[in-house]
């Protein structure tokens, strides 16, 4: 059996990541910089690393009601190990929770016009990924903050331009504003930073694992028994 990789190797007892000694990376580079080294193959310029840091902060935690947060708490309360609960939270990420950013990134990278994008999703009878929020009806402040951060760091924000063109086209067709949300803003940032759109879920999870871990630890400290639905919380259907 043979595997091929350009990511890492060990030479004369030195572990190299993309040709760079891990000891040097420990002393000279940040977590975000080494993420770029692994995922893109090079050390980023400072503004790229800073934008990734902002993305990670934005995605770390979004309340107990998020599936990727309450699922691992339930699994931990059932008596499972920490890493098992963490894995359950990761498995809760899908097309309806945590996955919209990756689909939006693919969309923004495709070269299609806003009209083509909106037409495609309307034909499917599905919401355009990266737009709309149950609470933020007019503007998602997290999306606005990420856009502001990208501008502050000196990015051209071409992907944000595309995103807001899509937002305007949705409003034109539906007659109401459905704002760019955090998933769409994360998608634009991912591409502005020069990362592959296929890393959308991975980057989201990179951040959300921290939030999951905090909740799993709290669950461990708070509870000694599992959760069970009360009968009045269950609606029986014939």
pTM of the predicted structure, to 2 decimals:
0.92
User: pLDDT in tens for each of the 238 residues of the chain?
Assistant: 999 999 999 999 999 999 999 999 999 999 999 999 999 999 999 999 999 999 999 999 989 999 999 999 999 999 999 999 999 999 999 888 888 999 999 999 999 999 999 999 999 999 999 999 988 999 999 999 999 999 999 999 999 999 999 999 999 999 999 999 999 999 999 999 999 999 999 999 999 999 999 999 999 999 888 888 888 888 888 7
Q: What is the dihedral sign for C-alpha 113, 100, 197, 137?
A: positive
The correct CATH number of 45-228 out of 2.102.10.10, 3.20.20.70, 2.60.40.10, 1.10.230.10 is: 1.10.230.10
> b or e along 8-34 (b: 16 or more beta carbons within 10 Å of the residue's beta carbon)?
eeeeeeeeeebebeeeebeeebbebbb
Where does the chain hold its CATH 1.10.230.10 domain(s)? Answer: 45-228
């Amino acid at each position: 059996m043979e595997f091929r990789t350009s990511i890492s190797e060990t030479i004369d007892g030195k572990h190299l990541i993309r040709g760079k000694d891990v000891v040097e990376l420990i002393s000279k580079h940040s977590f975000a910089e080494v993420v770029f080294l692994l995922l893109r193959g090079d050390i980023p310029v400072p503004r790229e690393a800073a934008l990734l840091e902002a993305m990670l902060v934005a995605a770390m935690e979004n309340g107990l009601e998020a599936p990727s947060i309450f699922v691992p708490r339930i699994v931990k309360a059932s008596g499972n190990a920490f890493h098992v609960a963490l894995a359950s939270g990761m498995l809760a990420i899908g097309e309806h929770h945590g996955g919209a950013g990756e689909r939006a990134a693919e969309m923004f990278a495709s070269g299609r016009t806003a009209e083509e994008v909106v037409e495609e999703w309307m034909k499917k009878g599905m919401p355009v990924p990266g737009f709309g929020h149950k609470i933020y009806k007019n503007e998602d402040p997290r999306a606005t903050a990420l856009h502001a951060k990208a501008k502050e760091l000196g990015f051209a924000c071409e992907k944000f331009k595309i995103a807001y063109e899509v937002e305007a086209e949705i409003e034109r067709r539906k007659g109401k504003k459905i704002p760019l949300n955090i998933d769409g803003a994360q998608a634009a940032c991912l591409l502005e930073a020069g990362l592959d759109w296929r890393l959308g879920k991975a980057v989201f999870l990179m951040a959300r694992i921290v939030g999951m871990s905090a909740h799993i630890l709290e669950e461990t400290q708070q509870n000694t028994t599992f959760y069970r639905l009360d009968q009045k919380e269950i609606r029986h259907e014939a």
